[in-house]
Amino acid sequence: METLRKNQGLLIVLSGPSGAGKGTVSAHLRERMPEITYSVSATTRPPRRGEKEGVNYFFKTRSEFEQMIANDELLEWAEYVGNYYGTPRRFVEEQLAEGRDVLLEIEVQGARQVRKRFPQGVFIFLIPPSLDELRRRIEQRGTESEEVVLNRLRRAEEELKEMNHYDYVVVNDRVEQASERLRSIIIAEHCRVERLLSGKTVSWGG
Ligand code: 5GP
């Protein structure tokens, strides 16, 4: 009987400019792959209509968030259009150690920090079919003031330049297709030889 090493969970990082459709695509993906654990971020941004504490985000005051930074409770954090966003570290580490795949939906500065701590992560960049489409999607959301929309658009254009720091790029023309591409990437990444050769040992072929 030979042995094959079973990987710990895969850390999947999904970034992309505001309006690329990360939320919609990742919701679709999570329905198709319910075994993936979604990491809920902390933020100082006020909740949008319909957003729930502990489901969409952990909503924090600035001082609570700064305390989390000081306590090293965050795997990464960034300031984005005037608010803090960060990934609670312990939950992610525990899930990965238990062999579960974890999905982080974060912006580019945070993704860079994660890359340093988890070079074995899979970094995926989601882009809209065009800048015009991006503008339309951000405006259509209609939950933010004109100024915030403009800031998000400016930031989105800057973020698009970060694409080359990622392993994969997925165009979000249709949600089902984009989610299917993500699923294919995740399946393929699980088959990588180097992942099978690191981590816990399990028996096979017996
Ligand atoms: P939104 O305010 O639209 O929910 O999120 C704004 C941006 O922050 C999005 O690009 C989103 O992916 C990103 N974001 C959400 N959570 C985190 C996080 O924990 N860390 C970082 N660095 N970015 C995050």
Q: Is 41's C-beta closer than 6 angstroms to any atom of ligand 1? A: yes
For 152, the domain range is: 11-39+100-196
167 inside domain: yes
The per-residue pLDDT for range 92-133, each reduced to its tens digit, is 999 999 999 999 999 999 999 999 999 999 999 999 988 788
In a domain, 171, yes or no: yes
∠ CA(86), CA(90), CA(91), 5° rounding?
85
Q: Which of 107, 139, 143 to mutate to test the pocket of ligand 1 (most atoms within 8 A of CB)?
A: 107
Is 89 inside any structural domain? no
Q: Which residue CA neighbors atom 21 of ligand 1 most closely?
A: 106
Prediction pTM value: 0.89
Q: 122-159 pLDDT, tens per residue?
A: 999 999 988 788 888 878 877 778 888 888 888 888 88
Tokens representing 96?
């990965």
Q: Is residue 111 part of a domain?
A: yes
Q: Evaluate: CB of 19 within 6 angstroms of ligand 1.
A: no
Instruction: Identify whether 19 is part of a domain.
Output: yes
CA 149 to chain centroid, in Å, comes to: 21
Residue identified by tokens 């700064």 is 66
Q: Which atom of ligand 1 is nearest to the CA of 15?
A: 12
Asked whether residue 149 is domain-assigned, the answer is: yes
Looking up residue 174, the CATH number of its domain turns out to be 3.40.50.300
- Domain membership of residue 177 (yes or no) is yes
Q: Say yes or no: CB of residue 166 within 6 Å of ligand 1.
A: no
Q: How many domains would you assign to the chain? A: 1
Asked if 29 contacts 43 with a C-beta cutoff of 8 angstroms, the reply is no
Judge whether 29 lies within some domain: yes
